[in-house]
Structure 1
Amino acid sequence: MEEIQEEFLEQEEEESILSKNLISSRYNAPFRSTRMHIQRSNVCSRAYFVVVMVFFHVYILNVIALLLYVHYNNGPGDLVSADGDASAPVRDSRSRLPQPAPPSAGKLHDEEDYSQSFSLHRIEGIRVGHIQQVSIVPERTHEMKTLSLKPLLFEIPGFLSEEECRVVVQLAQLKGLMNSQPLTPSQGQESNQPLLSFSTEEVFSLLDLNQDGFLQKQEILSHSRSRDGTWLSPDSLRQILTGLEACLTGMLTLGDFRQVYDVSHQPQQQRSGKLHTHFKQRSRHTWLYQGPGSHHVLQTLRKRVMGLTRLPSSLVELSEPLQVNRYEPRDFSSSHYDSSSSLPETTCAHTRLAGNTSALTEVSCRYLTVLFYLSSAEDGGETTFPVADNRTYDEQALIQDGVDLTDTQQTCGKGNLRIKPTTGTALLWYNHLSDGRGWMGELDEYSLHGDCPVRRGVKWVASSWVNVDPDHQQQARYQRLVAQRHQTKSGMEDQYYPLSHSDLHLDL
């Protein structure tokens, strides 16, 4: 029995040893394979890391090369401001006017494609009282406050330093000031003055160039302009041409002309029921050129206007020169519009080089106005916007209790918004609405404004207008024509010399 028990115990020990070996073999095999797997993974991850780093460095080099290519291809002027400081805001690419390319093979780009490739930047007003930060000069930001939404009007304190204001005033005095004249009909204001002192028969005879007793359309259009602005106002021409189109023969006899002419010279209030007052102004003014060769303060001022408005330099540089006005005690200007409504029979004065020769009259087309206060009047001299932010606009509402709100001499205190002149402050407002496609739309009737009489002291102001033709194709043709005439011959195809406006605005 003892031998049998010993054999049984030995068998159990052998079985336990075998089972332990089997279990250890089962656990050891995966452990070894796991270690081998870890080693292989380390090798793969190390190679993967090397490949990723190589591609990353190649990508960085490609980005640097692309930036260098863009920089040297477009020129440094596209990446920094015109002042040469990188801190100035970069203009939105959507607002860049494409620089007209010189004609190749005698053929220009298609006007439709050309005109659709750019738009006008427009600052958002948000709400009345909203303040936004703008970067106009290096290492400084300005606060721009929204004063009204109708029209879109902003105030920027400290736009100019006192020293810069003093320099502009001195330059204006050196240039010489002239008495400001009321706007003529060619500048968007109707006139109720009689046509010189001629009778209806004498006017008919003057218009009848071939003296055949009939007036044709071309004969009327040939007399559509005069130097004094009183020869056939745009409204009179519209009435006469309407009467001409009603005639089956396409010609006007003396009897037909007498009826049409007498109607066209009735008071404006009786014909349309709308109010049209004479523009009145009493001040002294001059124009200061801001292009190459001008005083550096004037050039700096124009560059700041570009930075503030974010409009293309080629557009701003081809606009009117800077107008400086001096208002002495009792000087004023009645409420008026800086720009004009777009009508089929009118053309913009600044694009007359590429203008429609059949247009009846030329008008001022000013997308926006930037007004600079060069001094602070001791008393009076506020800039007034009589209908700013009105719920609706109605010309009849300008007459209240028999008083004309456009008469700033009598009713300046009744305007909705008055801004006291402060040295160095700038005002920016848009004279036109947007057409919904990024271009200049209808005249904003709420932009009606004037200057209250100065009661004590002297007020100096400067006005910078940006001229834009409501017809973007016309503006494109004008830009292209100027580019062809004033392009430099040094190989810099994008460099332009500003067009002189001395022959365009002598009567302003």
Structure 2
Amino acid sequence: MEFKMVLVFCLLLLTTLKTVVEACEQQGIPSTNDGTCSRDTCINRDVDNEPEDKHNNYKVDADSKETDKNNEDVSIEEGIVDEDEQEGVLEFRDYEFQPLARIIPGKVGDVEEIELEEGKFYKRITRSVNPPIFEIPNYLSVMECNMIISAALYAGLETSAVVGHDINEERNQASHLSEMSRVSEQTWLSSDTMPKTLWRRLVNRLSKLTQLPVEHLEVSEQMQVVSYVSGGHYHAHIDSTDTTDKLHLPCCAQTPECLEVDISTEGFEECCRICRYMTVLYYLSDVEEGGETAFPLADMPDDLFEEKFKDREFQSWHDLSNFCYNASVVVKPKRGTAIMWYNHLLDENGYLGHVDMRSNHGGCDIIKGNKWIANNWIAGTSFRDRNKPSMIY
């Protein structure tokens, strides 16, 4: 049974020969020519408490123990929860939001060494000042990237949605993929659908990166994992609700009645607003060609910026299928790299203010190969609603 558990995990985790070779080399162990691990190799691998078999609903031997890379003794029963046990359960927590931390970007090109794990330093590179955009190379290891992809494949992918848009209707009306606002598949991961030690490690690292407490991250959204294939893209958009005329609306994560409304309808947009203070995007794979993340309006002078919103239906800057490389900031996908930026300005109390429209961004067309990314959206709220219970994802 133990061998079966580890073998299933290896086959799920190491989905291609290339990733197998790279992951095994990183750990200093050999891989076989057919893209699988030998029995001895798999048994010696840190499996982070992965399940025995998908058909056994992720139930594993509760008496078994594994030790993670940080020498933390973890029970196998801390594995993944069956999706049926999670469905339909919304839990809210009394959490008092504190004023939001915000990192001063310095100037474009500045590099700062930051310690995100004990004795382990990462480079934080400023890519833009307005809004602050940072690039963090090698933020995730090859193994962490592969484990996130594996968990996403197990959870199952579905067509990516767009708030306020019927993506199926958009597809039916489009004569070419580039006419669609978003072309990808996605799923959501939480502490119940990822190995516990991996989840804790990522949350602690994210807390250090964002300078926000773990408790704050726990009332932020689940991790979204997205897969793009050839022609896939996401035209320029903002990750939060445009606050021009909706700043009075409550945040969706603090409004239970709105969570039952279809996000593709106007009813959802009139019920609440999405409050994503900041975004941390991770590249889980390299891309042969294309797939860059573009910020068309970053660091744009005020006069030119204002022009971009006049007669917007005749503007082309949001079309990243055709105008990706016109953007002022373009980041090439590289496995393990993270990008972090702020979607909102702060109000006078240090809480969630208006959306920063310069944070418009998107994913350029995949020309060759495919792309895997993940997003962590960090929640914020207004000073008025700082004590209002928030949903635990």
TM-score computed with the length of structure 1 as normaliser: 0.51
How many corresponding residue pairs? 282
**What's the counterpart of residue 387 of structure 1?**
297
Q: Which runs of 4+ in 1 moved over 3 A?
A: 291-295, 395-400
The superposition leaves residues 102-124 of structure 1 with CA deviations (integer Å, 9 ceiling, x where unpaired) of: xxxxxxxxxxxx77xx3111111
State the match for 1:474 in structure 2.
Answer: 385
Q: Deviations over 1:201-230 (max 9, x none)?
A: xxxxxxxxxxxxxxxxxxxxxxxxxxxxxx
Of 304, 309, 331, the match for 2:210: 309
Distance 1:279 1:465 in 2: 23
Question: CA 1:346/1:377 → structure 2, altered by over 3 Å: closer, same or farther?
Answer: same
Q: Which moved more, 1:457-466 or 1:129-138?
A: 129-138
Give the direction of change, closer, same or farther, for the CA distance of 1:344–1:324 in structure 2 (3 Å limit): closer
Q: Deviations over 1:256-293 (max 9, x none)?
A: xxxxxxxxxxxxxxxxxxxxxx9710001000013698
**Greater relative contact order, per chain length (Cα 8 Å cut-off, separation 6+):** 2
SS at match of 1:460: strand
Corresponding residue for residue 351 of structure 1:
254
Q: Given that residues 220 and 379 in structure 2 are in contact (C-alpha distance below 8 angstroms), is that contact kept between their aligned partners in structure 1? A: yes
SS of the equivalent of 2:286 reads coil
Q: Conserved in 2, the CA contact under 8 Å of 1:168 and 1:298?
A: no
Q: Percent identity?
A: 30
Task: Tell me which residue corresponds to 1:412.
Answer: 324
Check conservation: 2:344, 2:355, Cα contact below 8 A: yes
Q: Whose strand fraction is larger, Structure 1's or Structure 2's?
A: 2
Q: Which residue of 1 aligns with 2:344?
A: 432
Aligned-pair CA distance for 1:419: 0.3
Question: Structure 1 399/387 Cα, relative in aligned 2: closer, same or farther at 3 Å?
Answer: farther
- Aligned-pair RMSD on alpha carbons? 3.2
| Distance in 2 separating the partners of 1:435 and 1:353 | 25
Q: What are the Cα deviations for residues 134-185 of structure 1, in whole angstroms up to 9, with x where unaligned?
A: 1112221111010001111000001000111011111111111111123316
1-side partners of 2:361 and 2:122: how far apart?
A: 25
CA contact (8 A) 1:180 1:283 kept: yes
Whether the 8 Å CA contact 2:221–2:378 is kept in 1: the answer is yes
Residue by residue over 1:418-441, the C-alpha shift from the partner in whole angstroms, topping out at 9 and shown as x without a partner, is: 100001000000000122432221
Q: CA deviation at 1:394?
A: 1.8
Q: Tell me if the contact between 1:291 and 1:317 (Cα under 8 Å) persists in the aligned partners.
A: no
Q: Which amino acid aligns with 2:146?
A: R
Q: For 1:409, what is the secondary structure of its paired residue?
A: coil
- Helix, strand or coil for the counterpart of 1:165? helix
1:284 aligned partner, one-letter code: E
Q: TM-score, normalised by structure 2?
A: 0.65
CA contact (8 A) 1:127 1:149 kept: yes
Which shows bigger deviation, 387-396 or 454-463? 387-396
Identify unmatched segments of 5+ residues in structure 2: 1-69, 73-92, 171-178, 259-266
**3-state SS of the aligned residue for 1:123?**
coil
SS in 2 for 1:474: coil
Q: Which has the larger radius of gyration?
A: 1
Is contact 1:403–1:411 with CA below 8 Å preserved after alignment? no
Alignment of 1:201-216 (within 5 A): none
Q: Report the alpha carbon displacement of residue 353 of structure 1 after superposing the two structures with TM.
A: 4.0
Cα deviations by residue, 1:60-115 (Å, 9 ceiling, x for unpaired) = xxxxxxxxxxxxxxxxxxxxxxx899xxxxxxxxxxxxx969xxxxxxxxxxxx77
Q: Provide closer, same or farther for how the CA distance between residues 372 and 420 of structure 1 changes in structure 2, counting only shifts above 3 A.
A: same
Q: CA distance change for structure 1 residues 477 and 140 in 2, over 3 Å: closer, same or farther? A: same
Within the candidate set 152, 162, 181, 1:172 is matched to 152
Residue 320 (1) aligns with residue 230 (2): no
d(CA) in 2 for partners of 1:426, 1:413 = 20
The 2-side partners of 1:345 and 1:403 are apart by 29
Q: Does the CA contact (< 8 Å) of 2:308 and 2:315 recur in 1?
A: no
